[in-house]
Amino acid sequence: KQEVTQIPAALSVPEGENLVLNCSFTDSAIYNLQWFRQDPGKGLTSLLLIQSSQREQTSGRLNASLDKSSGRSTLYIAASQPGDSATYLCAVRSYNTNAGKSTFGDGTTLTVKP
């Protein structure tokens, strides 16, 4: 059974700092890993999708990496801004679960202070 862990559960940083969010998974037989952000009471916004054959994806100030062998992904946020404050979730689609079912981590709640 795939298990996904995100550490830390909460993170507070001053504006302008570069930061890294972590996502670990137990079963390396994955199709892809997707990073989302969620603002309080809102839906999930897709940030980056990394296929199992890829090592990293970039979008603006965001860079996500994937190391399947070690069961880890990181989301790097450069020059953080108060508007980046949100909960960040990673979700993994695995060979050994029902096709189409994603396993989510519990998320990291990020606060960027002005």
Question: Which residues are near another protein by CB under 8 A?
Answer: 31-32, 34, 36, 41-46, 49, 51, 89, 91, 93, 98-102, 104-107
CB of 35 to another protein, least distance (A): 11
Nearest to 25 by CA among 6, 50, 41: 6
- For another protein, the closer of residues 11 and 17 by Cβ is 11
CB of 112 to another protein, least distance (A): 19
- For another protein, the closer of residues 14 and 96 by Cβ is 96
CB of 79 to another protein, least distance (A): 25
Query: CA 47 → CA 63, 64, 95, 114, distances in Å?
Result: 10, 9, 22, 23
- For another protein, the closer of residues 51 and 70 by Cβ is 51
